[in-house]
Every structure is written in C-alpha cells, then in structure tokens.
Amino acid sequence: MLTDREIPVSPAFITFLAQVLAQRPFEREIWADQCSEALLRHDGDLQLRATKAAEAVMSNPTGRNLLARSYGLLYSLLAGDSAPFHELQSHYHFVGILGMPRSGGSYLTAELYRAIGMAPENVPDAIAHDSFPEVAPFDLQPGINTWLLSLKTMAEYLTMVDVFFSQRPRHAGKVVVPKKLTKGVYAGGIVPSRAGR
C-alpha cells in the first residue's frame, strides 16, 4: 500500500489549496510579465510554507476532500480508468501552448487569458505556466520515479483546475483553460486535450 509518505503532496498544490481555502485572492503573479524578464528564483521558504499550508488544508474538511480528489485522480491514471478524465474533458476545453522555450508561449498564454476575460496576474503560476505539472523525461533512481511524479502532479493540476475554474463562464459549452505546456513534449499522452483526440 502506498501512502502520502511515498507519494507526498506537491508544495505548489498544497499552497494553492491553502490560499483558496483562506479565500485569499491570487494577484501579482509574475509569470505573464514579459517586460521585466524576471524569472522565478529558488524559494528557500517553500518547504516551510508548504508545511504550514498542509496543516491548514488538513484541518479543513474541504481541503481533505480536495486532497482525496487528487489522489483519486492519480489512482485513475495508474489504473487506466479514463472515466474521470472524460468527465473533466466534457466540462473544460484545455488550450495547451507548446513551443520552444523563450518563443512567446507566456505572452500567448497571457493573451488567451485576457481573451476570456481573466487578468493573467490573477491566475496562479501553477495553473497557467509550465512550471507545473512536473512533467519530465523518464528517470528511475533510488527514491525518484519521474513518471510517477508526472502522473501525480497532473492529478493535482486537474484538481486545481476544477477548483479555480469551477465558476467561470462557458464559451461554446465549455470552460476554456489556457495552459503553457512546454514540458508537455515529454509526456503528450497525459496532457489534457479535447475528447476524442
């Protein structure tokens, strides 16, 4: 039996959930800022913030349900159960931006958010940008399995999408979800796309 000790929750996911549960708005995200060329730096406090966020999420019934939802999606990915993903695809229209790094993907993603009436600076980095999910070439080492990490963070990302976009208006029957997916080239099969692709 695997537990959260072997497959721990991602810091990006748990901090997102804590912010949503605290009803703190997302603002001043820098992923879309193409003028300053600022890049995300290593966050030395991330683990401490994630630990505090985990305490807040686990003390909240909704938080525990959302964690269970992400692990349920992970199980579905591992077991080959496509039903939950068909349900997500029937509600959301994922628009993935794939391209070479530094070729304008962030700019295009930001413009897509503006086109659907959302300010890019109010969309979390993990939702819009390619830092999350953590998709990478396959590597198996002691304590590291990048394929499992890709599946787990994809399940977390899909849970985040369901939370963040749940009240958004539909366009042509579906909620549009723009996402820069440069790392999607490593595992195209798990990247959300239109049903019946």
Going by C-beta distance under 8 Å and a sequence separation of 6 or more, which residues neighbour residue 116?
168, 171, 176, 178
Q: Are 49 and 125 in contact (CB under 8 A)?
A: no
Encode burial over 118-134: b for 16+ CB neighbours within 10 A, e otherwise. Answer: bebeebbbbbbbbebbb
Two tokens, residue 100: 């070479």
Q: How far apart are CA 72 and CA 88, in angstroms?
A: 14
Query: pLDDT, tens digit, for every residue of 156-177?
Result: 999 999 999 999 999 999 999 9
Q: What pLDDT, on a 0 to 100 scale, did the predictor assign at position 47? A: 83
Q: What are phi and psi of 145, to 5 degrees?
A: -140, 100
Q: Are 137 and 146 in contact (CB under 8 A)?
A: yes
User: pTM here?
Assistant: 0.90
Q: What pLDDT, on a 0 to 100 scale, did the predictor assign at position 196? A: 36
* Residue 2 per-residue DSSP state: -
Q: What pLDDT, on a 0 to 100 scale, did the predictor assign at position 120? A: 95
| Residue ranges per structural domain of the chain | 11-190
**What stretches in the chain show pLDDT beneath 50?**
194-197
Q: Are 178 and 112 in contact (CB under 8 A)?
A: yes
